[in-house]
């Protein structure tokens, strides 16, 4: 019965009548990939255009962050631990993969708690975790610091690089570079932030938006809900992922984030410094902050020539408009971060060969 309903709503989406070009933006790297993977993008009606937003945490991490991580590893002889997606991201002069091949101590982990365990097992070495991610990963990093304090593990640090998604959307809207008629908002991040964190899209910019999940049925329903709002000139904020997302979000997760982190201005690739969009460890936890514990000289930032990742993250161009895409820049030999990450727009276009 559910399959029949999905087919029915899929047909409804495909046959949806739009009398003008409509631009909708998804703000989640998983949505970027899933619109392709599920085939939902293939049943878009005529005149509906999907723009990929800055929803890939690896992609929006600026070069100077990775440059600093590599210099700390080399100059301070630390064990660098990271999620796998960061391994092949080019820095200004290298990458973690290249550094590992040249003898750098780089370990892939699946959680900051794994990094903490490595620190516990290697008391004579400093262990640094690259803290890159959006709202969903931040609570676990706070827990890792809390556990380090409880266990008196003094050789563990994180390199803060976490980012908050609502300020990035607000920044894009204030820039006004791209006409966006509606937003598909991230389900995972919204579990933490809550639906209300996105109310500025409705209240200030009068643009409709829908929080939705990641399966084909959820993408179809969420897209239909958004199109109904757009064609009826309603700037509502709707939640089609109510089974896991509430208005207020995860209050316990917010509490532990606020206990260990301060909100700061931070740099986003392709966008620049966005006020109140990043997190730094509070001063009382400075001993776990790699920036403060390991001050290093970092060489000047260099961006890859010809790479249009920054413009892609702002929705100005598609990967197909980058001269490097599929030629010099491939998943095997990426030039830019948008091709590296499994959530990157370039990776999605390359894998599924869609226009």
Give residue-wise pLDDT tens across range 246-272: 999 999 999 999 999 999 999 999 999
Q: How is residue 28 written in tokens?
A: 């989640």
Predicted pLDDT of residue 2: 72
3-state DSSP call for residue 267? strand
Question: 220: pLDDT confidence band, cut at 50, 70 and 90?
Answer: very high
pLDDT, tens digit (0-9, with 9 covering 90-100), for 163-179: 999 999 999 999 999 99
| Cβ atoms of residues 38 and 68 within 8 Å | no
Residue 38 pLDDT level (bands cut at 50, 70, 90): very high
> Mutual orientation of helices 112-121 and 138-150 as an angle, nearest 10°?
20
Q: Tell me how far apart the alpha carbons of residues 350 and 143 are, in angstroms, rounded to a whole number.
A: 37
Give CA separation, 98 vs 86, 87, 91, 135, in Å: 12, 9, 10, 29
Share of the chain above pLDDT 70, in %: 99
Can you tell me whether residue 40 is helix, strand or coil?
helix
What mean pLDDT do residues 295-319 have?
94
Backbone angles phi, psi at 166, to 5 degrees: -55, -40
Helix ranges (H only) for the chain are 2-14, 29-37, 57-60, 63-76, 96-101, 112-121, 138-150, 165-175, 187-193, 199-203, 216-231, 251-260, 290-293, 309-313, 337-340, 345-352
The domain made up of 58-164+250-293 has a fold known as: Rossmann fold (3.40.50)
**Range in 126-135, 236-245, 327-336 the model is least confident about:** 327-336
Burial class (CB within 10 angstroms; exposed 0-12, middle 13-18, buried 19+) of 6: middle
CA separation for the pair 195, 185 (Å, rounded): 9
**CA 48 to CA 11: how far, in whole Å?**
15
Predicted pLDDT at 249: 97
pTM: 0.93
Tell the burial category of 283 from Cβ atoms under 10 Å away from its Cβ (0-12, 13-18, 19+). Answer: exposed
Q: Please say if the pLDDT value at position 16 is more than 80.
A: yes
Averaged pLDDT of the chain: 95
Nearest to 187 by CA among 220, 225, 207, 215: 215
């Amino acid at each position: 019965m559910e399959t029949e309903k999905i087919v029915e709503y899929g047909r409804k989406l495909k046959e949806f009548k739009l009398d003008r070009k409509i631009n909708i933006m998804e703000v989640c790297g998983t949505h970027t990939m899933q619109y392709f993977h599920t085939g939902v993008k293939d049943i878009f009606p005529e005149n509906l255009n999907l723009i990929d937003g800055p929803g890939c945490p690896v992609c929006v991490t600026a070069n100077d962050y990775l440059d600093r991580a590599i210099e700390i590893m080399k100059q301070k002889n630390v064990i660098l631990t990271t999620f796998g997606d960061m391994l092949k991201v080019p820095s200004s002069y290298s990458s973690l993969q290249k550094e590992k091949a040249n003898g750098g101590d780089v370990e892939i982990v699946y959680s900051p708690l794994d990094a903490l365990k490595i620190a516990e097992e290697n008391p004579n070495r400093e262990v640094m975790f690259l803290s890159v991610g959006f709202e969903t990963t931040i609570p676990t990093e706070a827990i890792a610091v809390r556990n380090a304090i409880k266990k008196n593990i003094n050789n563990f640090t994180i390199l803060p690089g976490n980012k908050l998604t609502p300020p990035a959307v607000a920044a894009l809207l204030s820039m006004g570079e791209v006409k966006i008629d509606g937003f598909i908002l991230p389900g995972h991040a919204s579990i933490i932030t809550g639906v209300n964190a996105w109310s500025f899209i409705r209240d200030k910019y009068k643009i409709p938006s829908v929080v939705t999940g990641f399966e084909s049925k959820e993408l179809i329903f969420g897209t239909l809900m958004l199109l109904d709002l757009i064609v009826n000139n309603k700037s509502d904020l709707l939640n089609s992922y109510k089974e896991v997302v509430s208005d207020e979000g995860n209050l316990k997760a917010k509490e532990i984030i606020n206990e260990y982190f301060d909100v700061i201005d931070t740099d986003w690739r392709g966008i620049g410094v966005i006020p109140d969009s990043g997190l730094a460890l509070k001063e009382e936890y400075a001993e776990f902050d790699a920036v403060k514990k390991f001050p290093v000289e970092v060489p000047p930032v260099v961006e890859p020539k010809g790479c249009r990742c920054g413009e892609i993250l702002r929705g100005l161009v598609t990967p197909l408009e980058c001269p490097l895409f599929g030629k010099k820049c491939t998943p095997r030999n990426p030039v830019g971060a948008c091709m590296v990450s499994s959530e990157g727009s370039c990776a999605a276009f390359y894998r599924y060969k869609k226009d």
